Amino acid sequence: MRPFLFAGICIAACTGCGPDSQVNSATVQWMEWPAEVLSRTPFTVRLVVWQAGCGFGAFRPGVSADQSAVTFSPYFLVEKQNAICLPEALVQDIAIGALDTAATAPGLAADYARSFEMRGSAEVFRAISAVVAPAADVPVRTFGDVTVRPATPDASRRNAAGTVVKTVDTQGCVRVMPVGLYRPGAALVLEDQADTTGLSYAFVRGYIHDAASAVCGQTRVFRLLSRN
């Protein structure tokens, strides 16, 4: 099984946390967002977040924005008496399901069409003690970008990026699915059915759109732009 490690896994303090709460940092496995948005208007971002190894609590997207990017540094607030922290060796070997949720990105100001990067915490630290580095220290990865327009953004595409696995059905149709999602309907039909190598546990970038003709019986497909 491919190992996924989580920061910590228990962080001792955070702004706004009570004395009986702790923060469990998390990582963004998959992100979807509008390719274009209206200036100064908040927009919805889909996040598939790998849940931390010290129990589950209230989710916080940890969103921030500046003049160049929107960044998600998600975490969970867990009551200390409910936290069950797994040893690092167990965390490496157990596949814990991901959280499929949505968050709101703040409105981005642009008097002319321009791009902002979309970023997220996407790697983790090994646990070396009960207390680890703050969530802000978790490495951040660029998932793609969003175009901000002062008027009439194109709503036909949703950009998407993240770590995926490849699935092939009995008809030979290839789909990609965010790591950690195992529910029906989680997979996206790959638009180019001839370009399917090296996709399992790859970090991919692309966009979701309506194809001119159906692929595997569906017109809503994922166009792959890059993988690594």
Per-residue tokens: 3: 């190992």
Distance CA 93, CA 60 (A): 26
- Which pTM value belongs to this model? 0.81
- Asked if residue 162 lies in contact with residue 143, where contact means CB atoms within 8 angstroms, the answer is yes
**Length of the chain, in residues:** 228
Which amino acid is present at 155?
A
Tens of pLDDT along 119-158? 999 864 333 333 333 444 678 999 999 999 999 999 999 9
The pLDDT value given to residue 21: 72
Element at 93 (helix H, strand E): helix 88-93
Burial of 11-38, coded b for 16+ CB within 10 Å and e otherwise, reads beebeeeeeebbbbbbbbbbbbbbbbbb
Per-residue tokens: 18: 């009570």
Tens of pLDDT along 16-49? 455 567 888 899 999 999 999 999 999 999 999 9
Does 97 have pLDDT greater than 90?
no
Tens of pLDDT along 103-124? 999 999 999 999 999 999 986 4
Structure letter (DSSP) for residue 152: -
